[in-house]
């Protein structure tokens, strides 16, 4: 069962402009900003503008237009950041076993060096 959305989560506050972030992309569907604790030379978080707890919540509940807009936005962020030639990794932690820390869906984009095999 998905938790109810908590509008006091840190990414909701970033979306409302209540706490600062380094925006790298924004459109109707998505906001992208640099991770505060980067784990690769490029580490961007892409979040939907809508209030969704996780990938599970979003994929089950979001209107088709929001899903399409968000998926396209993730690709656009990577292209705008010049990551396509060298490549990048996407990750969306979802739920308790994943160690998801912030309960607003976010897709991590890792890039900027050879990333090696996934550990898990």
Binding site for ligand 5GP (CB under 6 A): 10, 21, 33-37, 45, 93, 99-102
State in angstroms the smallest separation of the CB of 65 from ligand 5GP.
Answer: 25
C-beta closer to ligand 5GP: residue 64 or 101? 101
State in angstroms the smallest separation of the CB of 47 from ligand 5GP.
Answer: 10
DSSP H or E stretch at residue 110: strand 107-111
C-beta closer to ligand 5GP: residue 37 or 63? 37
What is the C-alpha to C-alpha distance for residues 46 and 74, in angstroms, rounded to an integer? 6
What is the C-alpha to C-alpha distance for residues 4 and 36, in angstroms, rounded to an integer? 25
What is the C-alpha to C-alpha distance for residues 100 and 108, in angstroms, rounded to an integer? 11
Among 6, 104, 4, 110, which residue's Cα sits nearest to residue 55? Answer: 104
C-beta closer to ligand 5GP: residue 30 or 63? 30
Among 99, 104, 106, 108, the one annotated catalytic? 106
State in angstroms the smallest separation of the CB of 91 from ligand 5GP.
Answer: 7
Catalytic status, residue 99: no
Cα-Cα-Cα-Cα dihedral of 52, 59, 61, 106, to 10°?
A: 10
Active site residues: 106
């Amino acid at each position: 069962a998905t938790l109810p959305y908590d509008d006091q989560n840190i990414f909701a506050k970033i979306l409302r402009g209540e706490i600062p972030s380094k925006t790298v992309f924004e459109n109707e569907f998505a906001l992208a900003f640099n991770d505060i604790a980067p784990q690769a030379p490029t580490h961007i978080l892409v979040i939907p503008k809508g209030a969704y707890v996780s990938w599970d919540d979003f994929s089950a509940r979001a209107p088709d237009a929001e899903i399409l807009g968000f998926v396209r936005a993730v690709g656009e962020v990577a292209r705008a950041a010049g990551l396509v030639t060298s490549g990048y990794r996407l990750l969306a932690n979802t739920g308790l076993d994943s160690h998801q820390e912030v309960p607003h869906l976010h897709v991590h984009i890792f890039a900027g060096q050879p990333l090696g095999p996934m550990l898990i």
